[in-house]
Structure 1
Amino acid sequence: MKSIINLPLLLTSLQVCCHHLPGHDGFQDDHGENNPHEHQYSLSREEQGEKSPDYHKITPSNTDFAFRFYRNIASDPDGNNIFFSPLSISTAFALLALGAKSETHDEIYKGLSFDLLEIEEKEIHEGFHQLLHVLNQPNNKAQVNLGNGLFIEPSLKFLPAFLEDAKNVYGADGFSTNFSSPRVAKKQINYYVQNKTDGKIACALDELDASTVMVLVNYIFFKAYWENPFDTHFIRERDFFVDANTTVKVNMMHRKGYYKFIYDGDLFSWVVELPYKGDATAFFILPDEGKLEHVENALAKEHLSKWTQSFRHESIRLIIPKFSISATYDVKDLLEKMGITAVFNDTADLSGITGEQNLKVSKVIHKAVLDVNESGTEAAAVTTIEFMLRSAQLQPPLTISYNKPFLVIIVHQSTESILFIGKIMDPTKK
């Protein structure tokens, strides 16, 4: 059996409803002719060509947002597994910002950790445009499919420039959708997501608000093989210590080999890097006993760069669980805690979409699925990274066993983009 990691993910069914729905007919490009909207973000042919990587300009903000969003999820002491794609959420709301104005516009960028005094709005959109282009390269052994879909009620009056910018900059697919028939609309959207995630997410939407007139979907699908697979012959059922009172049995994958790793004295954690074939890698973070909450509160983008500069590369015995988990989040509640509020209420200004202040976001749902398993054949060396801030020489143990709650960060290396973040509290919970 070949070992593979599949990370299909649907973000943000951003369900948009009207304050009032103007009576206009047809889903045509001539909508909004009387409300001209300058194409500020449509990229020229030259800009769409090869040039310096603008995506590096948005990486720090995307990483800050990733950890801020994680901390908001982790603040709920429910003890559940966590798994989501911060990049999927950032991309969806950056696209939405194309149509946002005034306070709504400013809150979205601030919530995504962008300071418009330090980076121009056009640079943000160009950064996402190039990032989408790089991530979606079909020849990468670590497959990433990241994209957007806009499902729009045909009677909705909209500005064609918004759709053109969404298509040209964010590669968004546009569809005419009859939301007056929720069953048909859900079937159309769910089929689209099922197709884009290789069947891993069959039901993106469970329900639609009665007043929905537009749904913005961002999907991400990741599929990659371990550079150094785990041998199925060395899978053993072992104890996983969920907490002081709970122990579960889980299949643990064993491998002895060369890995990049380090003990991070600042985070009180071991960090091991498991690379995939292609341009992606995963950081497995194992906090010391009682230090999980400390890691969650302290983890920041600076740690990623410090790890990569400070790792040790030695032979260790690595033990990690084989598991499959899924998660669903009401992103609206989480983003409101992060200061993005106007877009969800009747003061929302999304007039860049319709030319009028008649839309607001009613619901934001994020669904994620993660499968981690072994590989049939052992390959070459594995690369893993971590660092130690303190000068004390801490010798790594012979064995690093992920037999208690740990974190996972999956990174696209050349763009330094965090694709996924997860916390595995109990690998037996689906």
Structure 2
Amino acid sequence: MRVVLSLPLACLLAQAWLAPGSTLASHSPEAQEGLETLLTPRAQNKTSQTSERPWAPEEEEGEEDSPWLSAKGQQFSREASNLGFSLLRKISLKHDGNVVFSPLGLAWAMAALTLGARGHSRAQLEGLFLQAWNQTWPAVNQTRTPHLPALFKRLRESLSHNPELGLAQGSFAFIHKDFDIRETFLNLSKRYFDMECVTVNFRNTSQAKRLMNHYVNQETQGKLPKLFDEINPDTRLILVDYILFKGKWLIPFDPALTEMDTFYLDKYKVVKVPMMYRSGKFASTFDKNFGCRVLKLPYRGNASMLVVLMGRIGDHLTLEDYLTTDLVDTWLRNMKTRKMEVFFPKFKLDQKYKMHELLKQMGVQRIFLPWADLRDLTVTERNLKVSKSSAIALAFVHQSHYLQLSLFCLLLQGDSLRIGFSGFSLSERKKERKKEEKEEGGGRGEEKKKKENKT
């Protein structure tokens, strides 16, 4: 079952779906057992360019206001949305049940980290976002590379220009009190991502935990009281990005009409849930290729949720492989308004994902290694790397609104002391590094062979 929130903004807000067997509008004649939900996109990005130079603010002066940047913003959003669908597919492979996920928090955190990275580390981060950009405009990329932070700044500004939409976004960094972080990184992260910095003593783990949990809970309006369960005292920096969406239905469901009713977990298992009800005129379409009906539920602020109801249980697996912004656009173009009765369950979901392996599969590997090149983040710290990456998402459907909180967290630590006392020799480390580089090169070689075979 899927629900797709489609925003006419340059922003991939979120993607969430319920387990394949769930049914959200089982009373409707067209509603079969497999309703699927997903929140649609418009934000993020891809590139595969390398830069060996530090970030220089004066070189980027006026970049955010350039006509070229404005003209490419829409395509940037579409390609970013497709990256979001790709991430959703990869997460779904490892999670059989409900999935709630927003690539936007991940996008902001990883893009901010590019400000501190160089060499292969930075190239891999940019490659996550801007591969499609290079494929779409090869001629443009021969002469110039899009400035990733400037694109995200434009995205952030576009989100804040629609007060009716109920969107709140934030970026902040918890920095160890003795961590020598570059002033340039702080200035640029504030300029492009409006990042707030909070000084923390990670050696005092209990105090650091209380301070950070209080700060995050306050920033997310009380929706996430306990983000951190434990803290490694070797932590040097934690980057957190979140987006809080509270979309108010254009026409709310009447609470008086909500009743306990049947909800299908699969073909044979059913449970009783609070089922909301509303009758009226709704935009919808039927996709013959996938055998699904798509319903549009509008929010205030020119945004919509798309509810995709599969004709047969399990068919969502086929649809999942073909989800793109072009498919969503086709659904929207073919919609017609008709009188309908809609039964929609009131529900709450929460999920947490470890993102290490997923990011490595997508080509981001160097930042997780002791030789990650983060020279533009710090001068003195050695063996600085990303030790943890996680995503958290909460979703709640109510009679008056849909609420989703999506948060992404990157934890960076230095491991020089642990290497020194573990007997891990320099020669062993070089061997490990060569092995890793060989694996990366082998992966690129396989891709090259596949392309040649296709040709």
TM-score (structure 1 length as normaliser): 0.74
1:204 aligns with one of 216, 227, 230:
227
- Would you identify which runs of 4 or more consecutive aligned residues in structure 1 move more than 3 Å? 40-49, 51-55, 113-123, 355-358
Residue 104, structure 1, aligned to residue 128, structure 2: no
Q: Indicate the SS of the match to 2:377.
A: helix
Residue 67, structure 1, aligned to residue 101, structure 2: no
Identity across the alignment (%): 27
- Report deviation, 1:45: 9.7
Distance 2:126 2:54 in 1: 24
Distance 1:276 1:153 in 2: 41
Preserved CA contact (<8 Å) 2:82 2:325: yes
Question: For the structure 1 residues 409 and 194, does the alpha-carbon distance in structure 2 shift closer, same or farther, using more than 3 Å as the test?
Answer: closer
Q: Could you report, residue by residue, the CA deviation over 1:219-254 in whole angstroms, capped at 9, with x for unpaired residues? A: 111112100111122212222111123211111111
Residue 163, structure 1, aligned to residue 186, structure 2: yes
Preserved CA contact (<8 Å) 2:202 2:232: no
- Report deviation, 1:68: 1.0
Residue 38, structure 1, aligned to residue 63, structure 2: no
Question: For the structure 1 residues 409 and 105, does the alpha-carbon distance in structure 2 shift closer, same or farther, using more than 3 Å as the test?
Answer: farther
Distance 1:343 1:300 in 2: 29
Q: Indicate the SS of the match to 2:393.
A: strand
Q: Aligned pair count?
A: 347
Give the letter aligned to residue 255 of structure 2. T
Distance 1:105 1:169 in 2: 17
Q: Could you report, residue by residue, the CA deviation over 1:123-165 in whole angstroms, capped at 9, with x for unpaired residues? A: 332221011112123x611211112001111222222111111
Question: For the structure 1 residues 121 and 182, does the alpha-carbon distance in structure 2 shift closer, same or farther, using more than 3 Å as the test?
Answer: farther
Gaps of 5+ in 2: 6-12, 15-52, 407-455
1:134-145 pair list within 5 angstroms: 134-137=158-161, 140-145=163-168
Preserved CA contact (<8 Å) 1:100 1:352: yes
Give the letter aligned to residue 60 of structure 1. R
Distance 1:172 1:154 in 2: 17
Q: What residue number does 2:214 align with?
A: 191
Preserved CA contact (<8 Å) 1:57 1:124: no
1:346 aligns with one of 354, 370, 380:
370
1:64-103 pair list within 5 angstroms: 64-76=82-94, 78-103=95-120
Give the letter aligned to residue 270 of structure 1. R
1:180-259 pair list within 5 angstroms: 180-259=203-282
Distance 2:377 2:181 in 1: 6
Q: Relative contact order (C-alpha < 8 Å, sep 6+): which is higher?
A: 1
TM-score (structure 2 length as normaliser): 0.70
Preserved CA contact (<8 Å) 1:193 1:219: no
Preserved CA contact (<8 Å) 2:64 2:154: no
Distance 2:195 2:299 in 1: 28
Distance 2:78 2:253 in 1: 33
Preserved CA contact (<8 Å) 1:144 1:223: yes
Distance 2:116 2:58 in 1: 11
- Report deviation, 1:330: 0.7
1:359 aligns with one of 367, 384, 393:
384
Question: For the structure 1 residues 273 and 36, does the alpha-carbon distance in structure 2 shift closer, same or farther, using more than 3 Å as the test?
Answer: closer
Greater per-residue helix proportion: 2
RMSD: 2.9
- Report deviation, 1:344: 1.0
Q: What residue number does 1:22 align with?
A: none
Preserved CA contact (<8 Å) 1:64 1:301: yes
Distance 1:55 1:187 in 2: 40
Q: Indicate the SS of the match to 1:98.
A: helix
- Report deviation, 1:122: 4.3
Preserved CA contact (<8 Å) 1:344 1:360: yes
